[in-house]
Amino acid sequence: MHTALDRPGSSITREADVLIIGGGLSGAMLAAQLLRLPGRRNVLIVEPRSELGRGEAYSAVELGHTLNGNAARMSVDPDNADDLTQWLAEFIEAGGWPESDQQHVPVSELFPPRGIFGLYVQQRLAEARALGARNGSGVEHVRGEAVDLQVAGDTVLLTLDDGQTLRGGFAVLATGMFPAARTPQTESSGLNAAALDPWDVAAMRRLDPQSTVLIIGSGLTMVDAVVSLEQAGHRGPIEVFSRHGLLPHVRRQPPEWVDFLADDHSLRSPRQLMRALREQCRQAQAEGIDWQAPLDTVRAHIGRLWSQASDVQRRQFVRHVRPWWESHHHRSPPLSAELVARLHEEGRLRIQAASFKGLASSAEGTVNIRIRRRGEADLTVVQGAALINSSGIEYDWRRVARPLPQQLLARGLVQPGPLALGIAAHPDGAVLDAQGKPASRLFAMGPPLRGMWWESTAVTDVASQAKVLAARLVALQTQYPG
């Protein structure tokens, strides 16, 4: 089938069976699963970075920026929960991470640096590439940013920022996460322009080490920012402002707890879940067991619980429960948590419940922000030498000022997901257009499906989705060849 992009002056530069948009964890794992399956197929991964498998999350180079889950929880192989543990043991044995002995725990309980985890993902992709090559399949990295996409009959046409046009039988939105600190906003407050990158240790080294640093947000990105400041040699005050003033709890390694949701499907609302979970946690503590043990059993049921909840129940959860859920569930790695706790005890780091209300005029070399402290009506201006935006992830694609999300929304090829979290999709990953019709050629996985499954960003979530979606694409390729 021919479209306007096939006409003279508009050339198709590459063709593939599957186009994967995004080459971070999601894209790399989908490609690996496609290459492992029988049959021949050609895959193109569009990714602006020079390396595949890292994305935003695993491009960190500082050893202090670690995963927030231990090795036993972070396997990219959905069929082998010990895959990362086994790889890491071999990596350490070969001298790859000598600092690992500082954690004084078995390999399965180590919290690897995110940069090393990126190496692990890359090696698993390389192994899948070798296997695929023996079957006649291949994957190619096309370096660039996707800026537009069209679906015409049995063809997907993808336009890149350098003018290239790629054609594929199917396309997958594996765009990963849009960190608020690095994502242009359609309605910008100017925060990012005035703020330091939370992971830019080199920029932090240029600060006066005794100066005051202001941080917006108190979640895991804030923890990373504090680690960055420490590694940059900063020794001054750190003022953290977040709406509820909650810190992530430290992740511990609790013993096994009975999966109380496995056989009880009567719990359908967030309120019922919270009531039952609190009871389980009280019971665990009465037995001398860490409250994190019952909480961790909920993880496997989140997708089911979220998908069966009504919009009203989801909205209530996001409005009233989410901050506490995030601080208890998305916990901090031990070494990072120890640093935050130490600085807090020393009085160098202060957590304040306050909302960011914008930038205020400031003299050269300083930054002033307006905040409203919880319980107060008036705004307060706070001054620092530097500002860091640690407000987490931007899931609302309407607010992401990147070409592809905006074009997909404008063309009506996608619609916002539940509660404007990511985009809407059928359970098999087929995106829903503006009229709610599932696409036959365009799919999504990972963080863009946050609104469908709530937890759609963790490594194990992405790995499982990659396996299921790869099988779906291969079946469709067989059903609709060429």
Give the 3-state secondary structure of residue 27: helix
* Per-residue pLDDT, 84: 98
Task: Please report the DSSP string for 248-264 in residue order.
Answer: PPBP--PPP---TTSS-
Domains of the chain, first to last: 4-65+113-178+395-479 (3.50.50.60), 181-249+331-389 (3.50.50.60), 270-320 (no CATH)
CA–CA distance, 382 with 401 (Å, rounded to integer): 28
**Under 8 Å between Cβ of 414 and 433:** yes
Q: Which residue has the tokens 């021949």?
A: 40
CA–CA distance, 64 with 233 (Å, rounded to integer): 13
**Which residue from 298, 337, 332, 294 is spatially nearest to 317, judged by alpha carbons?**
298
* Per-residue pLDDT, 184: 85
Question: H or E stretch including 150?
Answer: strand 146-152
- pTM of this structure: 0.93
**Under 8 Å between Cβ of 225 and 239:** no
CA–CA distance, 172 with 397 (Å, rounded to integer): 16
Q: Per residue of the chain (482 residues), what is the pLDDT tens digit?
A: 333 444 334 577 899 999 999 999 999 999 999 999 999 999 999 999 999 999 988 988 889 999 999 999 999 999 999 999 999 999 999 999 999 998 889 999 999 999 999 999 999 999 999 999 999 999 999 999 999 999 988 999 999 999 999 999 999 999 999 998 888 887 777 888 889 999 999 999 999 999 999 999 999 999 999 999 999 999 999 999 999 999 999 999 899 999 999 877 787 777 888 899 999 999 999 999 999 999 999 988 888 888 888 889 899 888 888 899 899 999 999 999 999 999 999 999 999 999 999 999 888 889 999 999 999 999 999 999 999 999 989 999 999 999 999 999 999 999 999 999 999 999 999 999 999 999 999 999 999 999 998 888 889 999 999 999 999 999 998 877 65
CA distances from 227 to 66, 88, 125, 291, 385 (A): 10, 23, 30, 27, 18
Give the 3-state secondary structure of residue 78: coil
Q: What DSSP state is assigned to residue 330?
A: S
CA distances from 255 to 63, 289, 294, 337 (A): 28, 8, 9, 20
* Per-residue pLDDT, 482: 57
CA–CA distance, 153 with 480 (Å, rounded to integer): 12
Q: Which residues contact 20 (CB under 8 A, 6 or more apart)?
A: 27, 30, 31, 43, 44, 45, 46, 171, 172, 174
